[in-house]
Amino acid sequence: MKFGKMILKVVALLSLALLLAVVADSQMNRDDPFLGSKLPQAAGEGILSKVKTSSSSLVISEPMSPLATPDLSIAADPAGTNCNQAAFFVTLTPDPAQTTITGYHNVKVKIMENPFGTPRSVAELTLVMPASGSTVHEIIGFSAASQEGQNRTNEITVYLDPDRQIKESNENNNVLTMTGVCPS
């Protein structure tokens, strides 16, 4: 009887360890473990399909394709934007000349507000997007500078790839300026 309970405990412990290992594996190669839900999948791809194993125990991810010249673009989501929250869509379109595109692009996003004529940075984040293309929807909240009056408005500017780390076919569609309104 004691031996059976001990085996059951060992099996439960091993199952828990396996579950934690799977979760940890799905979080590998990301800047922030909380961005796991932000990693969009290209059509027909799973997270583990981009991993190759060799005869050793070392796991190597496929490198980003250096030849592809994608295009990043941004569009507003007015329904989700207010004076202290920016909502927008980020689209990465792959280079149509490339037939095989693998890997991911780390897309830096910087959000600035300008409530009183003095711009200030309110958020920075990195989106991990498949080089084969995808669209993600982001809603970023922040503490807006306080304002008197009936309706508070805030000019919000979102910059994609502000340091121009990703070579693109069109660098002119990476900035979005919106006005967020909060009723008093």
| The predicted structure's pLDDT at residue 139 | 94
What's the chain look like in SS3?
CHHHHHHHHHHHHHHHHHHHHHHHHHCCCCCCHHHHHHCCCCCCCCHHHHEEECCCCCEEECCCCCCCCCEEEEEECHHHCECCEEEEEEEEECCCCCCCCCCEEEEEEEEEECCCCCCEEEEEEEEEEECCCEEEEEEEECCCCCCCCCEEEEEEEEEECCCCCCCCCCHHHCEEEEEEEEEC
| The predicted structure's pLDDT at residue 34 | 47
Q: Is 184 exposed, middle or buried (0-12, 13-18, 19+ CB in 10 A)?
A: exposed
Whole-angstrom distance, CA of residue 126 vs CA of residue 136: 12
| The predicted structure's pLDDT at residue 52 | 45
Q: How wide is the angle at C-alpha 40 spanned by C-alphas 34 and 44, nearest 5°?
A: 140
| The predicted structure's pLDDT at residue 123 | 93
Whole-angstrom distance, CA of residue 178 vs CA of residue 158: 8
Enumerate the domain spans of the chain: 71-183
CB neighbour list of residue 79: distance below 8 Å, 6 or more residues apart: 87
Contact 72, 95 (CB under 8 A): no
| The predicted structure's pLDDT at residue 31 | 44
| The predicted structure's pLDDT at residue 148 | 62
| The predicted structure's pLDDT at residue 115 | 73
Mean pLDDT, 10 residues at a time, the chain of 184 residues? 81 76 55 47 49 46 55 94 93 84 90 85 93 92 70 88 90 93 76
The pTM score is: 0.60
Question: Is domain 71-183 given the CATH code 3.30.1440.10 in the classification?
Answer: no
Whole-angstrom distance, CA of residue 120 vs CA of residue 98: 39
Whole-angstrom distance, CA of residue 156 vs CA of residue 160: 13
